[in-house]
């Protein structure tokens, strides 16, 4: 039977709860929630959560039971865990009825010391010295119900979702975690990050249990690192992440677990039962973090343009590698931990389609630098760009050429030569190239095609954030045969 708050004489806050607290109601907002766990049979060494059923023959049978934990907050400093025990259908009801961000009434919970609560070691760290238990089989009227009141009190409680549980000074940069490699596997850290991308939810079969579970990957970034993968296995967090907007939502994550991914061969993050996520935390550092995210290159073409913008002097790239050595260093037996590396490759250009149908010139918005598809006329495609509503918005054209490199060990496909690097190699700018006839472009192509060239590359390796390797050409000249003979490697 559902009980309203008015039927309970005492309303307490988390700070007022102690060993003597009985028959009270707590009004709070849900800031974290575990996935339900189910089991069968009478648990040993613990009072029964419900009576075993008796069938028509008089024989007892075991009933499925479950447990679910909510982390609650009612002020800037006070948090507490509330564990619900009950029949499987009761736990399923609570799981579907309450989500992170809901304001709830906790009616007639049992109070116990958190120091002796077995579930506390698997629950988020909270400020209260006590923990709450809801078990309708032990206390009549013990239940969790939606808070019915509206107005300022509800708004005050929901605003606590954005109040940080830790200060920004207690967080660690993503670069420090990434640099540690497998050395910090299993440890937990606090993070202040921006959501870079939210990937689609997938259904995967877990080998250990053979169950099908929902799974989502979210890419996080900060000022120190371009992207680290966050894995979400909890249905609660997967549903909540539907609200996160890439490059606009910031997160303060308490106790994110670090784990080494054998699939991606890199460090990833995971949300477990002890993790609490504060969306868009009210801290001053968020503004500069979001500004950094808006200017950071996230599309592949932006990354390639950034690599070829002069951040690495081509004259310093002197490590000679064959195509096979480059491939081995990115994905083969010689794979290293670094995110990118440079190489000088003496190879023949086997693809340089200057006079064909391949993409040679791309366009981007002059205001926000977003790549504009060739089939879109006039406006920028980015919804928050001022140029998205201007029919005469200015576009910038730039070289975006795909090149294949071949030597005696193999072929490196899909290398990119863009912007000023391409202008330097071809000896003309985009405007001049677009005015050339097909015959002139063919003559330009054959200055390099099937010739042995000294190609200087920056290789950005594929990762959990980016599914493919990026080969950015930052220098290309026709090679002197004597130089090739002296430096070309057999392997």
pTM above 0.85, yes or no: no
Quick one: pLDDT at residue 24? 93
Residue 48 counted as domain residue: no
Beta strand 228-232 with 266-270 is parallel
Query: Within this chain, do residues 267 and 315 fall inside the same structural domain, yes or no?
Result: no
Pair 339, 453 in one domain: yes
Per-residue DSSP letter, 6: G
Please provide the distance, in angstroms rounded to a whole number, between the alpha carbons at the two ends of the chain.
78
341 located within any domain: yes
Other beta carbons within 10 Å of 408: 14
Q: Is residue 57 part of a domain?
A: no
- Statement to judge: residues 266 and 286 lie in one domain: yes
In a domain, 353, yes or no: yes
The whole-angstrom separation of Cα 125 and Cα 331 is: 40
CA distance 71 to 472: 48
Q: Are residues 150 and 187 in the same domain?
A: no
What gap in Å lies between CA 208 and CA 233, rounded to an integer?
Answer: 15
**What is the residue-wise DSSP string for 297-343?**
--SHHHHHHHHTTTSS-GGG---B--HHHHHHHHTSTT--S-SEEEE
Specify the CATH number for the domain of residue 251. 2.40.50.140
Looking at the fold, whether 324 and 468 belong to one and the same domain comes out as yes
Give the SS3 label for residue 156.
helix
The single-letter DSSP state of residue 218 is: E
Q: What is the pLDDT at residue 424?
A: 92
Among 264, 295, 326, give the residue marking a domain's end.
Answer: 295
Residue 85 lies in a domain: yes
> If DSSP codes are grouped into helix, strand and coil, which group holds residue 275?
coil
CB-based contact 79:98 (threshold 8 Å) = no
Parent domain of 140: 10-39+63-158
Q: How far is CA 417 from CA 119, 304, 366, 472, in A?
A: 57, 8, 20, 6
Looking at the structure, tell me whether residues 249 and 369 fall in a common domain.
no
Q: Are residues 278 and 350 in the same domain?
A: no
* Residues 443, 481 within the same domain: yes
What one-character-per-residue DSSP string does 100-117 give?
A: TT-EEEEES-EEEEGGG-
The answer as to whether 4 is a domain residue is: no
Last residue of a domain, one of 158, 181, 208: 158
Distance CA 193, CA 226 (A): 11
pLDDT of res. 140? 77
Same domain? 470 vs 351: yes
163 in a structural domain: no
CA distance 253 to 309: 34
Q: Are residues 112 and 233 in the same domain?
A: no
Q: Verify that 211 and 344 share a domain, yes or no.
A: no
Quickly list DSSP for 184-202.
GTT-EEEEEEEEEEEPPPE
CB 38 within 8 A of CB 88: yes
pLDDT at site 5? 44
Judgement on whether residues 319 and 456 belong to the same structural domain of the protein? yes
- pLDDT reported for residue 56: 42
How many folded domains does the chain comprise? 3
Residue that terminates a domain, selected from 104, 138, 158:
158
pLDDT tens for the 491 residues of the chain, in order? 454 444 556 889 999 999 888 889 999 999 999 999 888 755 444 443 344 444 444 444 456 889 999 999 999 999 999 999 999 999 999 999 999 999 999 999 999 988 776 666 778 999 999 999 998 777 777 889 999 877 888 899 999 999 999 999 999 999 999 888 777 888 999 999 999 999 999 998 877 777 888 899 999 999 998 889 999 998 889 999 999 999 999 999 999 999 988 877 788 999 988 999 999 999 999 999 999 888 777 677 777 777 777 778 899 999 999 999 999 988 755 555 667 899 999 999 999 999 888 889 988 887 777 777 766 665 676 766 776 666 556 788 899 999 999 999 999 999 999 999 999 999 999 999 999 999 999 999 999 998 899 999 999 887 777 778 889 999 999 999 888 888 887 76
**Domain membership flag for residue 2:** no
């Amino acid at each position: 039977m559902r009980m309203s708050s008015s039927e309970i004489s005492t309303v307490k806050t988390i700070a007022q709860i102690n060993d003597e607290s009985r028959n009270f109601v707590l009004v709070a907002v849900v800031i974290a929630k575990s996935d339900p766990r189910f089991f069968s049979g009478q648990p040993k060494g613990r009072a029964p959560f419900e009576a075993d059923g008796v069938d028509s023959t008089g024989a007892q049978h075991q009933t499925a039971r479950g447990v679910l934990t909510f982390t609650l907050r009612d002020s800037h400093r006070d948090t507490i865990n509330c564990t619900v025990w009950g029949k499987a259908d009761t736990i399923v009801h609570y799981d579907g009825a309450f989500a992170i961000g809901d304001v709830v009434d906790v009616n007639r919970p049992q109070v116990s010391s958190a120091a002796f609560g077995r579930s506390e070691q698997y629950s988020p760290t909270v400020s209260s010295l006590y923990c709450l238990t809801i078990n309708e089989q032990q206390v009549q009227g013990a239940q969790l119900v939606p808070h019915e009141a509206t107005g300022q009190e509800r708004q005050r409680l929901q605003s606590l979702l954005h109040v940080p549980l830790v200060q920004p000074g207690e967080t660690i940069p993503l670069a420090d975690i990434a640099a540690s490699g497998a050395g910090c596997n299993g440890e937990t850290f606090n993070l202040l990050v921006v959501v870079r991308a939210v990937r689609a939810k997938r259904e995967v079969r877990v080998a250990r249990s053979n169950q099908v579970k929902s799974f989502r990957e979210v890419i996080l970034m900060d000022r120190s690192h371009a992207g680290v993968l966050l894995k979400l296995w909890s249905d609660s967090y997967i549903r909540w992440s539907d609200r996160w907007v890439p490059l606009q939502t910031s997160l303060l994550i308490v106790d994110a677990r670090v784990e080494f991914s054998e699939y991606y061969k890199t460090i990833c993050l995971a949300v477990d039962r002890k993790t609490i996520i504060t969306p868009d935390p009210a801290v001053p550092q968020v503004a500069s973090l979001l500004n950094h995210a808006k200017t950071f290159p996230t599309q592949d073409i932006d990354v390639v343009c950034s690599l070829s913008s002069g951040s690495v002097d081509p004259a310093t790239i002197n490590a000679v590698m064959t195509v096979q050595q480059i491939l081995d260093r990115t994905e083969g037996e010689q794979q290293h931990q670094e995110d990118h590396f440079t190489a000088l490759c003496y190879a023949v250009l086997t693809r340089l389609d200057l006079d064909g149908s391949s993409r040679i010139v791309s366009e981007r918005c002059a205001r926000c630098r977003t790549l504009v598809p060739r089939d879109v006329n006039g406006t920028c495609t980015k919804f928050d760009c001022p140029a998205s509503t201007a029919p005469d918005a200015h576009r910038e054209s730039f070289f975006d050429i795909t090149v294949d490199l071949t030597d005696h060990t193999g072929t490196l496909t899909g290398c990119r030569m863009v912007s000023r690097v391409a202008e330097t190699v071809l000896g003309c700018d985009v405007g001049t190239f677009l005015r050339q006839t097909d015959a002139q472009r063919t003559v330009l192509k054959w200055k390099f095609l099937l010739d042995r060239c000294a190609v200087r590359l920056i290789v950005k390796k594929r990762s959990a954030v980016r599914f493919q390797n990026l080969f950015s050409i930052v220098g290309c000249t026709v090679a002197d045969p004597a130089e090739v003979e002296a430096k070309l490697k057999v392997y």
